[in-house]
Every structure is written in structure tokens, then in C-alpha cells.
A and B are shown apart, each in its own frame.
Chain A
Amino acid sequence: MLKITLDGLKETQDFGLKLGSILRGGEVICFIGDLGAGKTILTKSIAKGLGVKDYVTSPTFTLINEYKGRVPLYHFDVYRLEGVEDILDLGFEEYFYSKGVTIIEWGNKIERALPEDVLTIEMKMGSHIDERILYIHSSGEKSNRIIEELRDK
């Protein structure tokens, strides 16, 4: 587990850029955090780090947004889904087991459908309004490597 404290928007963006730049494709990242915790900001900067030029918007309504970057980026928001059955109808395996990077907001809602190897980023409010604390967990080879590289940089 890696704990990172981010003070303000700029530090959140820098962290996202760094994370985006070390992704190789095939990784699945889950965000857990309350509304307003900064999941969308973080996704936007990860996308930038992946070389995505498009404007990244929330997939709350569309469920999945796809972007072309260094590797494809699939941005899921599963908040509206009722449960694991819904994600099965979506064809999630095409994305989770692809060469692209998958980011899932509210990933904990579909835990049973997630691959074994997931990077989970839990976002919590810090001691003041702009502070965020990230608890980053890994559960396999790919996600372990991300944590190691985040530690090194």
C-alpha cells in the first residue's frame, strides 16, 4: 500500500500526469471516493499522461468513454449500474483484458467482475479543503509495478 498526500489541484494534476506516463497498457485502475473527491480531475491528468489529446468528460451518462492515446484509454463510470449483471451486458471483458488502460470510477460496485490484478486508488478528503489523501493498493504483477515506479519517481 502506498499513501500519498496531495495539496491542491496542481499536485493532483502532477500526480495524474506521472501515473499516466508510467502506464503501459493492459492495466485496470479503480477509483473509490466520494463525489467531489477529485476522481474526474485525476482521470483527466492520467489521460494527459497517456498522450490523450481529446477533451475528457465524465462517463456518468454514457457509462464508457474511449480515448486514443499512446495506448487506448477506457473510462468507465459504473455509479449508475445496479450491480454486476449490468456490467456483463456491457461487454466489460473487451476492455478489462485489452491492450488499453481501463479506469473505473466507483469500481467497488462491480468488484466481482474485476480482474485479479487491479490498482485501487482510494481518495479521501484531507485536513483542509484542498488536501486529498490517496491510498493506493495493488493486487498483482501489473499493479505492483505501478506502485514501485510511483515510489521511485
Chain B
Amino acid sequence: MKVLAVDTSSVVATCAVVDEEKVLGEFTLNQDMTHSEKLIPMIKVVMDSLGLRPEDIDLFAAAVGPGSFTGLRIGLATIKGLAHVVDKPVLGISTLEALAFNISWGETVIPIMDARRDRVFTGIYSCENGILLNRLEPTIFEVDKLLDFVDDNYERVMFNGDGTNVFKERIIDRLKDKALFAPVSLNMARASSVGELALNKWNAGERESYFQLVPDYLRESQAQRELKKR
């Protein structure tokens, strides 16, 4: 079963084709927010290089958020469009779960994505018996609040995601040697992780149609914002 997966939730644009055994191909750029120009040509390079046509893909997968609203819309529109053309199923994967899945080996992993204004999109994950577990639901947090929470509850954690580039010094100041940082190759979104998670979901019986797939912006609710103003 072949999965075409994309993640355009941050400055990273990434696409990959995976099956049950391996990553057949992956193309990742991490420079400019130019996904609307780059993503489709990237997919074409990967597919052409593998000698694949859209109808050869059995499942289409996209990271659905949280992340850049514009970025998510580009990735989802692309995946939904491709799936629609060949009438194949789709699955949406949490951006944060995919980041954590880059480093699913036991220690606590905390993906952080810059949400501007000193806030991060984050969740807390750990691995038990090879299965990635979600300890804190994806949420939007002020970075200092997250660091307080981690300091109070954890002995050692690993951070990844683009938030580490923005907040690294602050994390080290607050958490000292409690904080580990992912190697750069595992620090960013990887479509291969999105693809593998989609396969796992598929095998667990989850199904979605290209008509239903929507972004998960995870923006603060009206109530949260009103509360802050007081």
C-alpha cells in the first residue's frame, strides 16, 4: 500500500511516498514560505523519480495542524485535490504527533512550533512499547507557561520543531540540563513520519474522505481571548 504524504504546516515543505516497509522517496525544503509555488513541483519530482502516477497511490495523507494557517490550506487543498482526481481515501495527521514521531523511542518528546507572540503550538508525547502516546493534547501555550509545566512535571525531555530555533536560549535558561534538543534532521516536519502515521491509522481502521478533511487550526477560542483581555 502506497501513501503520498505532505506537511506544509511550517516553513518546511515536505512530501514523501511510503509503504509498509520503507520510505520510497522524500523531498524536503526548509527555507522559504513558498509552498504554493514549490509543493506541487516537489511532489512531481518524487512521483516521476519513482515512476509513479497518482492512480498508483492508495492513500493520501496531510498534516492538518496546528501550524501556519496559509501553509495548512496549501497542503490540504493539494492532497484533497489529488485524492479527488483518483477517488482515493485521505487521512489527516496531527502536525505535532508527526513531529514527535520523528523521535519515538521512549523519552518524553515535546514538539514546539512557533505560534508568534511568545506562544507555541505544543503537545507532550512519550513512547511505550513502541507506541507513541499523547500525554498533553495539542494546545497553544505561552512558552513560559509550558516551561513551568515541564519543570514541575518532568525530569528530562526532548524538544523538536521550529520553536526550538526561536526559544532555545529561554528553554536552556529555565530547564538547564533537563532539556535535550533533537538533531537537525529530526527537528523539522518529515512527510515520511506523516505517511507512516497515516498507514498506522489506516491499519487501525480509520477512514476519511477528501470531502471531510479540514485543517485543525487550533486557534484560541473566543472565550480564551475574552478572558485574557480582563
B222 contacts partner chain A, Cβ-Cβ < 8 Å: yes
Which residues 107-131 of B sit at the A interface, judged by CB distance below 8 A?
A: 115-117
Using C-beta atoms within 8 Å of the partner chain, give the interface range for chain B.
Answer: under 10
Bound CA span A85–B221, Å: 10
B178 contacts partner chain A, Cβ-Cβ < 8 Å: no
A85 near B222: Cβ-Cβ < 8 Å? yes
Bound CA span A88–B226, Å: 13
Chain B residues positioned under 8 Å from A89 (CB to CB): 69, 217, 219
- A85, A91, A97, A98 pick with most chain B CB within 10 angstroms: A91
A93 contacts partner chain B, Cβ-Cβ < 8 Å: yes
Q: Smallest distance from the beta carbon of B95 to chain A beta carbons, Å? A: 14
Which residues 91-108 of A sit at the B interface, judged by CB distance below 8 A?
A: 91, 93-94, 96-98
B68 contacts partner chain A, Cβ-Cβ < 8 Å: yes
Which residues 74-96 of A sit at the B interface, judged by CB distance below 8 A?
A: 85, 88-91, 93-94, 96
Query: Which DSSP category, helix, strand, loop or mixed, fits chain B's interface?
Result: loop
B70 nearest in chain A by CB position? A91
Query: Which DSSP category, helix, strand, loop or mixed, fits chain A's interface?
Result: helix
A94 near B68: Cβ-Cβ < 8 Å? yes
Known contacts A88-B219, A91-B217; A97 and B116 CB within 8 A of each other? yes
Q: Smallest distance from the beta carbon of B72 to chain A beta carbons, Å? A: 8
Chain B residues positioned under 8 Å from A96 (CB to CB): 116
Bound CA span A85–B219, Å: 11
Bound CA span A85–B116, Å: 18
Bound CA span A94–B70, Å: 9
A97 near B70: Cβ-Cβ < 8 Å? no
Using C-beta atoms within 8 Å of the partner chain, give the interface range for chain A.
Answer: 10 to 19
Bound CA span A88–B219, Å: 8
A91 near B68: Cβ-Cβ < 8 Å? yes
Which residues 41-92 of B sit at the A interface, judged by CB distance below 8 A?
A: 68-70
Contact digits for A3-25, partner B, Cβ 8 Å, 1 yes 0 no: 00000000000000000000000
A94-B70, A97-B116, A98-B116 given; name 18 further pairs at CB < 8 Å.
A85-B222, A88-B219, A89-B69, A89-B217, A89-B219, A90-B69, A91-B68, A91-B69, A91-B70, A91-B217, A93-B115, A93-B116, A93-B117, A94-B68, A94-B69, A94-B116, A96-B116, A97-B117
Q: B-side interface residues toward A, CB under 8 Å? A: 68-70, 115-117, 217, 219, 222
A–B complex contacts, Cβ < 8 Å, 18 sampled: A85-B222, A88-B219, A89-B69, A89-B217, A89-B219, A90-B69, A91-B68, A91-B69, A91-B217, A93-B115, A93-B116, A93-B117, A94-B68, A94-B69, A94-B116, A96-B116, A97-B117, A98-B116
